[in-house]
Amino acid sequence: MMTSFMVFFGIGSVIYGKLSDIFSLRTLIFIGIVLYNAGSVMGFAFRFSYPMVVAGRALQGMGGSAIPALIFVAVARYFDAAGRGKVFGLITSTVSLAIGLGPVIGGFVSARLHWSWLFLIPLLILAAIPFLGRELPREKRREGSLDLRGAVLVALIVGDLVVWLSLDSWYFLAAFAALVFLFILHTRRSPDPFINPSLFRNARFRSGVIVGFCLFFVVIGVLFLIPLMLSDLHHLGTSQIGLILFPGAISSIIFGPIGGTLADRRGSAFVVTLGLGLLMGSMLLMALLLGVSALFVGAALLLTYVGFSLFQTAMINSVSQTLPEHETGIGMGLFNLVGVMSGAIGTAVVGKILAAGWLDVLLVPLAAMTKGYVYSNLMIAFSLVVVLGGVLYLRAYGGVAPIKQVSKDVSEA
């Protein structure tokens, strides 16, 4: 059920992005909302049929992917670079609020009613259509065509990769390599390819995608690892784990807009560096004192959420400014796809390491208190990835701006 949603969500992120370079954002967002709600109705109406529920989730992914793919395009297209960071910050904080409230609402509805009622909650989105119709401008169709064969190949590559991560069969990996080869061959021959190779010749965009992959991989991996660790080492139940995770998710509501405002004032490089510093610090703290107290883990995790909120806001702002207008849609779509795929890969890698016991070696003495060697070592490994990502970002996007009156700027933001 999760795989079907992720496959179509990842595919849609790229396809909607490409379509936005040709067709009206207004029309595409309406189509996405309609498809998402059609999937919701299907999942609820056919809740007693597992295949139909999976199909409903796939349709939800197909429609839901329009929102993250197109909202960033809308900001990049309709807001100038000077004020874009603040808008991205507001979007990030809204998403973080949803991430924090989603599991709480989901658990409440499932316990009091039935899990199928969760399919009806997205119907509330329909109320936004009149406002979107009034606020979004009517755009004319731009020049360009959709490379359908290239789009299908991208869809097959993304789908095959997610299935391989879920099932871990060698023939899915072989199919992935073959599909990538066919896509490269097709792209070289096509006069108007689905993904223009010039996009990857843009060194700053290419670096931004790699940095985004590394950091989303780390954060999603950590957020997947922490509940397992709290259950294994501290023997906490689902509701207790939710309470420990909740404050960090809610904190992003505050720090998303702050990160956006700081990015506009001090530059994205400063905000990214600050966010990565908090991320690395939180992981090292958890690596050193993982088994001391679950409350300590929650406090350190708060730094993870704050750091990620700052990093994500400024990173999106940085990447959007590397793209020319005619490649904004496909560029931001690819960046969204990287976020989806890095999350899938991050959870798969963490799961394999825990199952195989590859890092189950004592490196941090305090971890011996709870036999949590593997969790501690994973945190150290994640912190190293954060450092590498930070170095690559600073090389591509420049050094940190002078830090004068930063505390004043934070309080004003």
Residue 352 has pLDDT above 70, yes or no: yes
Residue 398 identity (one-letter amino acid):
G
**Angle at CA of residue 394, ends 393 and 399, nearest 5°:** 150
pLDDT at 50 (0 to 100): 93
Give the max Cα distance, the chain.
Answer: 64
Mean pLDDT throughout 252-262?
A: 77
Q: Are residues 284 and 369 in the same domain?
A: yes
Q: Are residues 161 and 223 in the same domain?
A: no
pLDDT at 58 (0 to 100): 92
Per-residue pLDDT band for 12 (boundaries 50, 70, 90) equals confident
Query: 162 Cβ partners below 8 Å, 6+ apart?
Result: 3, 6, 7, 10, 341, 344
Per-residue pLDDT band for 341 (boundaries 50, 70, 90) equals confident
CATH number of 64's domain: 1.20.1250.20
Give pLDDT tens digits for 360-383: 676 666 555 556 678 888 888 899
Give pLDDT tens digits for 210-220: 998 988 888 88
Give pLDDT tens digits for 98-152: 776 777 788 788 878 888 999 999 999 999 889 988 888 888 877 767 788 888 8
Per-residue pLDDT band for 248 (boundaries 50, 70, 90) equals confident
Mean pLDDT throughout 4-24?
A: 84
Q: Distance (Å, rounded) from C-alpha 290 to C-alpha 380?
A: 11
Mean pLDDT throughout 7-32?
A: 86
Residue 154 has pLDDT above 90, yes or no: no
Residue 228 has pLDDT above 90, yes or no: no
User: DSSP assignment of 342-375, as one string?
Assistant: HHHHHHHHHHHHHHHTTT-S--SGGGGGTT-HHH
Distance of CA 382 to the CA centre of its chain: 17
Per-residue pLDDT band for 407 (boundaries 50, 70, 90) equals very low
Answer yes or no: are the C-beta atoms of 331 and 323 closer than 8 Å: yes
First and final C-alpha spacing in the chain: 41
Out of 82-86, 248-252, 284-288, 289-293, the most confident range is 284-288
Orientation of helix 66-78 relative to helix 81-112, angle to 10°: 160
Q: Distance (Å, rounded) from C-alpha 218 to C-alpha 210?
A: 13
Instruction: Give the mean pLDDT of the chain.
Output: 82
pLDDT at 405 (0 to 100): 42
Identify the domain containing residue 162 by its residue range.
Answer: 147-193
Q: Are residues 31 and 159 in the same domain?
A: no
Q: Are residues 180 and 214 in the same domain?
A: no
pLDDT at 186 (0 to 100): 92
Q: Are residues 160 and 282 in the same domain?
A: no
Phi first, then psi, for residue 54 (nearest 5°) are -65, -40
- List the one residue out of 238, 248, 271, 279 whose CA is nearest residue 379: 279
Q: Are residues 166 and 301 in the same domain?
A: no
Residue 400 has pLDDT above 50, yes or no: no
pLDDT at 410 (0 to 100): 45
Q: Which is more confident, 404 or 114? A: 114
pLDDT at 362 (0 to 100): 67
Distance of CA 329 to the CA centre of its chain: 17
Q: Are residues 280 and 363 in the same domain?
A: yes
> Is the four-CA dihedral 7, 10, 13, 14 of positive or negative sign?
negative
pLDDT at 177 (0 to 100): 93
Answer yes or no: are the C-beta atoms of 225 and 297 closer than 8 Å: no
Per-residue pLDDT band for 36 (boundaries 50, 70, 90) equals very high
**Residue that terminates a domain, selected from 134, 160, 193:** 193
Q: Are residues 128 and 179 in the same domain?
A: no
Mean pLDDT throughout 241-254?
A: 76
Query: 354 Cβ partners below 8 Å, 6+ apart?
Result: 225, 228, 374
Mean pLDDT throughout 16-32?
A: 88
Give pLDDT tens digits for 155-207: 888 888 877 877 778 888 899 999 999 999 999 888 888 888 888 888 889 99
- List the one residue out of 55, 348, 15 whose CA is nearest residue 173: 348
- List the one residue out of 303, 257, 310 whose CA is nearest residue 283: 303
Give pLDDT tens digits for 43-101: 999 999 999 999 999 999 999 989 888 888 888 888 887 777 788 888 877 877 777 67
pLDDT at 250 (0 to 100): 75
Q: Are residues 23 and 110 in the same domain?
A: yes
User: How many structural domains are present in the chain?
Assistant: 2
pLDDT at 399 (0 to 100): 55
On the CB side of 403, how many CA atoms lie within 13 Å of its CA? Answer: 11
**Residue that terminates a domain, selected from 193, 208, 227:** 193
Residue 278 has pLDDT above 80, yes or no: yes
Q: Are residues 295 and 392 in the same domain?
A: yes
Residue 401 has pLDDT above 50, yes or no: no
pLDDT at 247 (0 to 100): 80
pLDDT at 402 (0 to 100): 42
Q: Are residues 188 and 219 in the same domain?
A: no
**Residue that terminates a domain, selected from 193, 218, 250:** 193
Q: Are residues 84 and 171 in the same domain?
A: no
Residue 56 identity (one-letter amino acid):
G
